[in-house]
């Protein structure tokens, strides 16, 4: 099948199947899969024009509601974190889209930029997984021990059934909100972070997300886990919600840039047909990934996210340096 906007020729079953596989693996970590879908489009489908970024955002818009529904239903949404991230990322996403069109239209340079960004966050995730930060390591151990105890308990009660490590009562409860600090409780533990710090990092994330076409969730998730020390179970829903809202804004920004002439003739109009096909597979995949999260130890989710991020980072940087 030929997609005239992007110029891609591919069987119509391939985009949804690729998105289903990718999003099923990544949604448990609060990542829609867009950051891996972009390399697939560029390297496998050879879709390298700037319009690949807004096409990727369309995938997010269609795919994310599946996973978001599960996180909201199971009470694992930190709404103050969600809205703080959205407020920070929305204005920055516009500038990111403009930078992508004006200064990073070349696929080779763009991939190198992406590689550097993911190398930074991959290192922070690796630090968390390996326990190099003593404070974060101690906090992680508390959650890991609780998860393991819950699995053992349920296996005894439900012989030979797959046991979920998160009980029904493991839900997010907001305790305190101010201009300086946000505090919430999850599974008997209290977590907090600075309001201004999350707004500042969200602006940077929005800038990068607007350039890359990923909405920012795949960047904010590892930051919240590795730097702020928040549990992945509570970060995932907020990251997906942020990605969903900023992706809608991102598509609008690209259209504004195209209509206003700022794009200077560059191909920035998204391929809606291709984006929706990816989104259909992602819709099911994010639901499955979010559903599976409570069955997975947080270390497993973090290791998976670290591997995916480092793979993309090293692949893109090596392509730039060796070619």
Helix or strand holding residue 185 (H, E): strand 181-186
Tokens of 293: 């999260």
CB–CB of 26/210 below 8 Å? no
Residue 6 falls inside a structural domain: no
Q: What is the pLDDT of residue 158?
A: 54
Give the number of domains in the chain: 1
Closest CA to 263 of 68, 39, 100: 100
Rama region for 261: left / alpha / beta (φ>0; ψ in -120 to 50; rest): left
Average pLDDT on 15-35 reads: 86
Residue 54 belongs to what domain range?
12-322
Residue 197 falls inside a structural domain: yes
Residue 38 falls inside a structural domain: yes
Residue 5 falls inside a structural domain: no
User: What would the pLDDT profile of 118-130 be if each residue is shown by its tens digit?
Assistant: 787 788 778 777 7
Angle between helices 79-103 and 217-226 (to 10 degrees): 130
Residue 76 falls inside a structural domain: yes
Average pLDDT on 185-205 reads: 88
Q: What is the pLDDT of residue 160?
A: 47
User: What would the pLDDT profile of 137-173 be if each residue is shown by its tens digit?
Assistant: 666 666 666 666 655 555 555 544 445 556 777 789 9
Residue 258 falls inside a structural domain: yes
What does the alpha-carbon distance between residue 288 and residue 211 come to, in Å, rounded to a whole number?
28
The pTM of this model reads: 0.79
Residue 209's alpha-carbon distances to 60, 68, 201, 235, in angstroms, are 12, 19, 12, 17
Please say if the pLDDT value at position 14 is more than 90.
yes
Please say if the pLDDT value at position 104 is more than 80.
no
Residue 4 falls inside a structural domain: no
User: What would the pLDDT profile of 40-95 be if each residue is shown by its tens digit?
Assistant: 888 889 888 878 888 988 999 999 998 899 889 888 899 999 999 889 888 887 78
What does the alpha-carbon distance between residue 55 and residue 53 come to, in Å, rounded to a whole number?
5
User: What would the pLDDT profile of 236-262 be if each residue is shown by its tens digit?
Assistant: 888 888 888 888 888 888 888 777 776
Residue 1 falls inside a structural domain: no
């Amino acid at each position: 099948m030929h997609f005239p906007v992007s110029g891609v020729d591919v069987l119509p079953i391939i985009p949804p199947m690729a998105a289903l596989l990718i999003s099923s693996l990544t949604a448990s970590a609060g990542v829609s899969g867009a950051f891996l879908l972009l390399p697939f489009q560029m390297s496998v489908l050879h879709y390298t024009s700037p319009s690949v970024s807004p096409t990727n955002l369309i995938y997010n818009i269609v795919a994310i509601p599946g996973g978001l529904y599960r996180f909201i239903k199971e009470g694992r949404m930190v709404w103050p974190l969600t809205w703080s991230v959205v407020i920070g990322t929305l204005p920055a996403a516009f500038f990111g889209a403009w930078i992508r069109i004006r200064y990073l239209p070349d696929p080779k340079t763009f991939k190198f930029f992406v590689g550097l960004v993911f190398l930074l966050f991959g290192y922070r995730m690796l630090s968390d997984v390996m326990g190099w930060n003593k404070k974060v390591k101690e906090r992680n151990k508390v959650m890991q021990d609780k998860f393991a105890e819950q699995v053992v308990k349920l296996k005894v009660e439900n012989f030979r059934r797959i046991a979920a490590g998160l009980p029904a009562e493991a839900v997010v409860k907001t305790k305190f909100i101010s201009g300086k600090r946000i505090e919430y409780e999850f599974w008997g533990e209290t977590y907090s972070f600075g309001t201004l710090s999350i707004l500042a990092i969200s602006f940077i994330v929005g800038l990068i997300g607007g350039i890359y076409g990923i909405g920012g969730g795949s960047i904010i998730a590892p930051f919240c886990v590795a730097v702020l020390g928040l549990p992945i179970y509570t970060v995932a829903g907020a990251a997906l919600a942020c990605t969903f809202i900023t992706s809608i804004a991102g598509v609008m920004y690209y259209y504004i840039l195209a209509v206003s002439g700022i794009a200077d003739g560059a191909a920035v109009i998204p391929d809606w047909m291709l984006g929706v096909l990816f989104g259909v597979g992602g819709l099911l995949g994010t639901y499955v990934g979010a559903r599976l999260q409570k069955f997975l130890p947080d270390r497993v989710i973090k290791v998976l996210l670290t591997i995916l991020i480092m793979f993309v980072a090293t692949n893109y940087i090596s392509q730039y340096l060796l070619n």
